[in-house]
Amino acid sequence: MKLHCFFLMLIGMAVTANVWAYGSSSSTRSCTKPKFSQFMPADKSEVAAQSAFSFVASAATYPESIEVTVKQQAVKINIVKTKAFYQVTGHLPSTLHNTYARISIKAEGPSQCQGSDGWLVKIVD
């Protein structure tokens, strides 16, 4: 009986030792995704064709990785670095008239973390 209890205790100690061996995940780098805000014009607003748009990208954004598309058309953008963020500006494509279009943003941050966002506008003549 005592031998049986001894083996059960030994097995229990072996199992818990394996569990504790994994440790915490604090040694891995965390993912800080780029964040986007201050969308202009406002979401779901009506705008003229070729209107300007702008938004702010967080400091955790690699500026060279920022990509903007409007209705799946790549858009040329200007990026200005400030102390705390990146100010991004551009213009809607000239080919879009009387339609809804999503301004889509993709970018990369530290540790290859991907961030994306966007907003919808109605383009009118």
Mean pLDDT by 10 residues, the chain (125 residues): 64 62 59 96 97 97 97 97 97 96 97 96 95
Give the pLDDT confidence score for residue 1 in this predicted structure. Answer: 65
Q: Which two tokens stand for residue 45?
A: 């607003």
Kindly tell me the sign of the dihedral angle through the C-alpha atoms of 89, 91, 96, 99.
positive
Answer for the pair 108, 115: CB distance below 8 angstroms, yes or no: yes
The top-level CATH class assigned to 36-124 is mainly beta
pLDDT of residue 49: 94
Q: How far apart are CA 116 and CA 6, in angstroms?
A: 57
Domain positions in the chain are 36-124
Q: CA–CA separation, 52 vs 41, rounded Å? A: 8
